Amino acid sequence: MNELSRREHLALWWSFIWRATLFGGVAGMVLGAFAGIGMNLFGLSAYSTIAGGAAGFVCNLVATYFAIGHVLTTKKYATFSVRIERAQDVF
């Protein structure tokens, strides 16, 4: 049977979500805080919120990229495995 059960879907989803949330949230918060504080130090306090949010967003994108890579390539699951194969050319 090649179909994943609901429990296995949940395991795969949760494996990605907690990594993306934890690492993306923490790294985004730290980088966003540094960007916001840096803008304030340079006298650009009007842009500190924008800079902090943008830095946090970019950091979160990077963290989710690595989280999905880890979940799909190196994470070991008890009852199933994830295999990604290149599609064969149809033509």
Average pLDDT over residues 41-68: 87
Residue with more model confidence, 57 or 82: 57
Tell me if 52 sits within 8 A of 33, measured CB to CB: yes
Residue ranges per structural domain of the chain: 24-73
Give Cα separations from 35 to 23, 42, 84 (angstroms).
18, 11, 37
Report d(CA 68, CA 58) in Å as an integer.
Answer: 16
Q: Is the pLDDT of residue 89 over 80?
A: no
Report d(CA 71, CA 58) in Å as an integer.
Answer: 20
Q: Is the pLDDT of residue 83 over 80?
A: no
pLDDT, tens digit, for every residue of 25-40? 888 888 888 888 888 8
